[in-house]
């Protein structure tokens, strides 16, 4: 499996509160996770950084375990990080209210398991068709499902940045889990909303189909910057 990732703070933010991890273990598991932090002057980067470190530590503890259960390892790691982030925010006033999204995948053989809390996303590109396989936990997503707004209105709604689920804002968090069976040539995209809010789906699909695989994350970020992205931008691309 090929893996490439990149993050950029963008033009309008003083720092980058996005974090990501990606790689492969000796036991045959590949992974990629994007975390988009929120809260306070530096709370977002603290939260997203802690979650990424915890995920990485827990995954690499199982590095040689051929029988590891990826879903359990990931969910346990998120649960541990959630509790730690919450308790840290309660003891440090400057970090109060911090939290982070998480969206990513584990891949073993042809089984792709996606995990999501918040509005970072996972997509799969197959035969030129880009499909979102996670569902945002956001106010506008709820309004759309209720039929109160259209899909186009979601992008301009004044509450489009309000999420309804995140890691660390409470002592625990519910994480959505879904499975996709991959076929050869499938490409997976894990991205923060700094990308998906500023690059149209059809443009992302075109860029993801590029033959210059390892340059795709940079191309995606550059397109978001061209569109005056006002957020941090992160993309991980994986090819099965």
Selection from 160, 48, 141, 63 nearest residue 103 by Cα: 48
Tell me the three state secondary structure of residue 21: strand
Return the pLDDT at 162: 82
Return the pLDDT at 161: 73
Return the pLDDT at 178: 98
Tell me the three state secondary structure of residue 181: strand
Contact partners, residue 55, CB within 8 Å, separation at least 6: 21, 33, 74, 77, 78, 81, 102
Measured distance CA(129)–CA(153) in Å, rounded: 23
Measured distance CA(36)–CA(48) in Å, rounded: 6
- Domain range summary for the chain, segments of one domain joined by +: 2-130+165-239
Q: Report the CATH superfamily, name and number, of domain 2-130+165-239.
A: PPM-type phosphatase domain (3.60.40.10)
Contact partners, residue 88, CB within 8 Å, separation at least 6: 46, 50, 95, 98
Return the pLDDT at 13: 78
Mean pLDDT by 10 residues, the chain (240 residues): 96 88 97 92 90 97 95 98 96 93 97 98 97 92 78 71 91 97 98 96 98 98 94 97
Return the pLDDT at 133: 97
């Amino acid at each position: 499996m090929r893996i490439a990732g990149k993050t950029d703070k963008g033009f309008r933010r003083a720092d980058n509160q996005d974090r990501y991890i990606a790689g492969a273990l000796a036991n045959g598991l590949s992974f990629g996770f994007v975390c988009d932090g929120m809260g306070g002057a530096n709370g977002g980067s603290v939260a997203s950084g802690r979650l990424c470190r915890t995920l990485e530590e827990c995954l690499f503890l199982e590095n040689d375990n051929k029988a590891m259960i990826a879903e359990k390892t990931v969910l346990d790691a998120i649960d541990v990080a959630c509790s730690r982030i919450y308790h840290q925010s309660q003891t440090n006033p400057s970090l109060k209210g911090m939290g982070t999204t998480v969206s990513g995948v584990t891949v073993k053989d042809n089984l792709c398991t996606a995990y999501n809390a918040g509005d970072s996303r996972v997509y799969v590109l197959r035969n030129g068709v880009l499909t979102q396989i996670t569902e945002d936990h956001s106010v506008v997503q709820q309004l759309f499902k209720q039929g109160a707004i259209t899909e186009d209105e979601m992008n301009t709604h004044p509450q489009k940045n309000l999420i309804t689920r995140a890691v660390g804002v409470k002592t625990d968090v519910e994480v959505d889990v879904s499975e996709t069976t991959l076929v050869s040539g499938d490409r997976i995209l894990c991205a923060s909303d700094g990308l998906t809010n500023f690059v149209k789906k059809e443009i992302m699909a075109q860029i993801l189909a590029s033959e210059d695989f390892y340059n795709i994350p940079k191309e995606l970020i550059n397109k978001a910057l061209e569109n005056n992205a006002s957020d941090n931008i992160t993309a991980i691309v994986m090819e099965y």
